[in-house]
Amino acid sequence: MENPSAAAGTSSAIAVVEAFLRALELLDLDGAAELLADEVVYQNVPLPADRGKEATMKTLRLFMRFGDHFEARIHNIAERDGIVLTERTDVLGTRAAPLTIWVCGTFEVRGGKIVLWRDYFDIATFLVQATKVFPAVALHFAKSLRSAG
């Protein structure tokens, strides 16, 4: 029989990651920030890592300026000892011009907070798609600058 405390730990770490991704889907950055540890490290490999909640949230706010849509389609999710692995398709940008990117994510959860979030994706696929949707994304970004100014 499975150890009940191990099962509880598994579901809670997975639940934290699922809640985090759901908050991002809802564009609820405050809700997402509540699930990040102050010392979180966030990295889109191969890009440089953000260190700390403030830097991570700055990056997420920047991403939101380029689009108004995010969806995380989780295909597989697994956990061991607080490390949660996701295989997913992220859909981001605008609804009219979405980027669809296959992503593998690693999350480390401690004390109910994400302390590490590292996503791996094919940057060549991203760049090819980005060039196709750039005009729509640029228009959205320009509109967001006008409304913020």
- Long-range pairs for 123-132: beta carbons < 8 A, 24 or more residues apart: 123/46, 125/101, 126/99, 126/101, 129/99, 129/100, 129/101, 130/99, 132/97
Q: What is the DSSP letter of 68?
A: S
CA dist., res. 44 & res. 118, Å (int): 6
Check residue 40 and give left, alpha or beta (phi > 0: left; psi -120 to 50: alpha).
beta
Locate 28 and state its tokens.
């609820």
**What SS3 state is found at 26?**
coil
Hey, which residues are catalytic here?
90, 119
